[in-house]
């Protein structure tokens, strides 16, 4: 039995009303709590928010929390994500540091060889309070890649990659369609087989298992046409095509898109009724500008997004999360018009990507997923500074729902594990106003 005394809940650190809330009846508040290790910043346990403050008829599930936020409603607390997508995870070295720091968690298999991205252990995800779980396609039975020697391989598209000594990642080393090519060469190219049975094998069973949990289920689709073009052509030739050879650009674009539409059509037929979010991405922004003018974007790149969304909508009512790094402010209205529900990673250090401006101008029409700066704050800030940044972002981007906390892209090896803990500890403390009021009346 808990002693009869007041519990001070540090909502002042994270909510919209900066004051200390007094829980008048701690026995009632804590009847549904499960406590984990306390955070080193003297924060509450990371899984505190299983507390029943009486706001809902039942404790809000992670799935409900995420879908409320993506529907521009305020859930009980800020939704948290790490590891659900190929752009919200952890690079192998960063994850190994976190496991060592926590003292638990199993090593994870590589799920993206180029990025050296790992599958995170369920115990670690639960400890951090992650609200989303990942669903990915299987490996093809045929043509899935070829080993070319130590730390060198050819992927399913024919692109060669190599991992230099001391590098964390695999670099682009061979672009099979670089140089002078014709539409006929594109037509003759050996494309991956989207009907390969390995891609869908076991997919529905994995989706059904995830659906039985309380977590939001994110299907990682593959509509990365722009990146695939860049890898096949090489970045220099891709930019030259974008500027001067639109016929060739469109020919290559459509050939790749045909493959990916068929691949995703088949997978979505299997799992469309079991998923909550479809995630995919293509980088169409640079640090200081978009990749091209708005006119060229609408002519050459927007059709990819339109056809991708059309394919998704034909097979599922799930929310659509679109990833693009860089400065994409000029494209935001197009994303909204096409039907994107949320954009990631909200690269806050890129030009025109200030969180307050994005929320003010677009926040009632699109949601944001990410925004915790991985350029300066996460790698170089203290845990206290990371926590303060999370609280600041909550006040800016969290109002009215519409924000899911995640790092700006995958957590890199230079991020201290203490800062990963601080980010999620602070995020788990970010209660919405109605939840604060309920807590104050206990």
CATH number of the domain that residue 263 is part of? 3.20.20.210
* CA–CA gap between residue 249 and residue 238 (Å, rounded): 8
Range(s) of the domain holding residue 64: 41-51+60-139+191-433
- Based on the structure, what is the number of domains in the chain? 1
Per-residue pLDDT of 70-104, as tens digits, reads 999 999 999 999 999 999 999 999 999 999 999 99
6 part of a folded domain: no
180 part of a folded domain: no
The pLDDT, as a whole number, for residue 438 is: 61
Token pair 């087989």 is found at 193
Per-residue pLDDT of 360-396, as tens digits, reads 999 999 999 999 999 999 999 999 999 999 999 999 9
Token readout for 20 is: 């200390």
Ranges 1-15, 90-104, 184-198, 309-323: which has the least confidence: 1-15
Mean pLDDT to the nearest integer, 124-131: 98
| Whether 409 contacts 87, CB under 8 Å | yes
Number of residues that make up the chain: 442
Helix (H/G/I), strand (E/B), else coil: 249? helix
237 part of a folded domain: yes
362 part of a folded domain: yes
Neighbours of 115 (CB within 10 A): 18
Regarding pTM above 0.85, the answer is yes
Detail the DSSP E strand segments found in 93-155. Answer: 110-112, 117-118, 132-135, 146-149, 152-154
The pLDDT, as a whole number, for residue 55 is: 36
Residue 39 in this model has a pLDDT that exceeds 70 = no
Neighbours of 228 (CB within 10 A): 23
The pLDDT, as a whole number, for residue 59 is: 75
| Whether 55 contacts 41, CB under 8 Å | no
199 part of a folded domain: yes
**What is the distance, to the nearest Å, from the Cα of residue 112 to the centroid of all Cα atoms in its chain?**
14
| Whether 317 contacts 276, CB under 8 Å | no
The pLDDT, as a whole number, for residue 12 is: 33
| Whether 230 contacts 256, CB under 8 Å | no
Mean pLDDT to the nearest integer, 420-431: 98
Detail the DSSP E strand segments found in 243-356. Answer: 277-281, 319-323, 342-344
* CA–CA gap between residue 41 and residue 157 (Å, rounded): 47
The pLDDT, as a whole number, for residue 47 is: 42
Q: What is the mean pLDDT of the chain?
A: 88
Per-residue pLDDT of 281-340, as tens digits, reads 999 999 999 999 999 999 999 999 999 999 999 999 999 999 999 999 999 999 999 999
HSE-CB for 342 with a 13 A CA cutoff: 31
Burial class (CB in 10 A: 0-12, 13-18, 19+), 273: middle
């Amino acid at each position: 039995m808990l002693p009869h005394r007041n519990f001070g809940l540090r909502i002042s650190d994270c909510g919209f009303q900066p004051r200390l809330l007094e829980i008048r009846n701690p026995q009632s508040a804590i009847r549904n709590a499960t406590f984990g290790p306390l955070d080193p910043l003297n924060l509450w346990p990371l899984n505190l928010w299983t507390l029943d403050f009486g706001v809902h008829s039942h404790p809000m599930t992670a799935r409900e929390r995420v879908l409320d936020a993506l529907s521009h409603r305020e859930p009980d607390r800020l939704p948290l994500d790490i590891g659900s997508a190929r752009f919200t995870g952890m690079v192998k070295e960063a994850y190994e540091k976190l496991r060592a720091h926590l003292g638990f968690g199993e090593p994870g298999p590589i799920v993206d060889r180029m990025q050296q991205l790992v599958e995170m252990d369920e115990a670690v995800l639960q400890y951090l309070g992650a609200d989303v779980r990942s669903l990915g396609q299987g490996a093809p039975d045929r043509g899935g890649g070829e080993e070319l020697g130590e730390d060198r391989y050819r992927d399913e598209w024919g692109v060669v990659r190599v991992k230099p000594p001391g590098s964390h990642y695999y670099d682009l080393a061979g672009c099979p369609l670089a140089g002078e090519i014709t539409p006929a060469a594109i037509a003759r190219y050996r494309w991956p087989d989207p009907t390969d049975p390995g891609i869908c094998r076991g997919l529905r069973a994995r989706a059904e298992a995830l659906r039985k949990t309380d977590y939001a289920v994110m299907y990682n689709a593959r509509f990365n046409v722009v990146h695939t073009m860049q890898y096949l052509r090489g970045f220099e030739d891709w930019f030259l095509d974008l500027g001067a050879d639109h016929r060739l650009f469109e020919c290559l674009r459509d050939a790749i898109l045909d493959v990916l539409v068929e691949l995703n059509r088949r997978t979505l037929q299997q799992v469309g009724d079991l998923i909550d979010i479809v995630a995919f991405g293509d980088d169409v922004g640079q640090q200081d500008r978009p990749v091209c003018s708005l006119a060229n974007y609408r002519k050459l790149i927007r059709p990819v997004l339109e056809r991708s969304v059309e394919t998704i909508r034909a097979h599922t009512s799930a929310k659509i999360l679109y990833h693009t790094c860089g400065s994409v402010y000029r494209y935001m209205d197009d994303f909204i018009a096409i039907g994107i529900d949320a954009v990631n990673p909200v690269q806050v250090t890129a030009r025109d990507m200030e969180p307050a401006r994005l929320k003010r101008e677009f926040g009632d029409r699109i949601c944001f997923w990410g925004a915790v700066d991985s350029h300066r704050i996460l790698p170089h800030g203290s845990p206290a500074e990371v926590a303060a940044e999370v609280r600041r972002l909550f006040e800016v981007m969290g109002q009215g729902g519409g924000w899911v906390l995640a790092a700006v892209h995958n957590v890199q090896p230079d991020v201290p594990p203490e800062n990963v803990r601080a980010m999620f500890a602070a995020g788990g403390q970010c209660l919405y106003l109605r939840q604060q009021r309920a807590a104050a009346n206990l």
